[in-house]
Structures are given as C-alpha cells and as structure tokens.
Amino acid sequence: MRTDLSKVMATLLKLAVISFVVGWLLVQFDITPETIFDNFGETVRKIYDFARGAIEWSAGYIVIGAVIVIPIWLISVVLGMLKGRRRSE
C-alpha cells in the first residue's frame, strides 16, 4: 500500500514540475489561459512561429559545425575499421 502511495506522490510531483515548466514557457511567449481559449488558432500560430524560428536559427550552426564534424567522424570510422582489420590478420 505504501509503495502505491509513493508512486502516486511521485507522479503528482512530476506533473507539478512539468506544469510549472510549461506555464513558465507560456508566460515567456505572453500566452495566458484567456488567450489560449479566446484565440486558440493564434496561440498555435505563435508556438509554430517560435519553433520554426528556433529551427531556422539553429540550422545554420548545425550545418557549419557539420562541415568540420562529419569529415572528422568519417576519418575516425575509416581508421577504426583499418585498425580492426590489422588486428584480425
């Protein structure tokens, strides 16, 4: 019985923390419960616009980093394969 209660309390705590984080994020976007219910389409558009902006902002950094990271990774994979062949011979 006690473990059931502790599971319920842990779940309630997790829900409270997640609700806090989501609430904080919504306040950062100037979204209130009233605006969510009054203008649901606009709320969804705001969230979409933010997500799109975040992806557009990060895509440039990802591409420029990949110009360096991917070739180094490929070289390390090839060298690792070559070392593996030499050990098995």
Question: Is residue 49 located within the same domain as residue 85?
Answer: yes
**Mean pLDDT to the nearest integer, 12-17:** 95
Pairwise pLDDT comparison (83 vs 73), residue with the higher score: 73
Question: Is residue 89 located within the same domain as residue 46?
Answer: yes
Do the domain assignments include residue 35?
no
Domain count, the chain: 2
Do the domain assignments include residue 66?
yes
Cα-based distances in Å from 18 to 7, 27, 33, 36, 39? 16, 14, 16, 18, 24
Range of the structural domain that residue 50 is part of: 40-89
Output the pLDDT for position 69: 96
Residue 73, pLDDT above cutoff 90 = yes
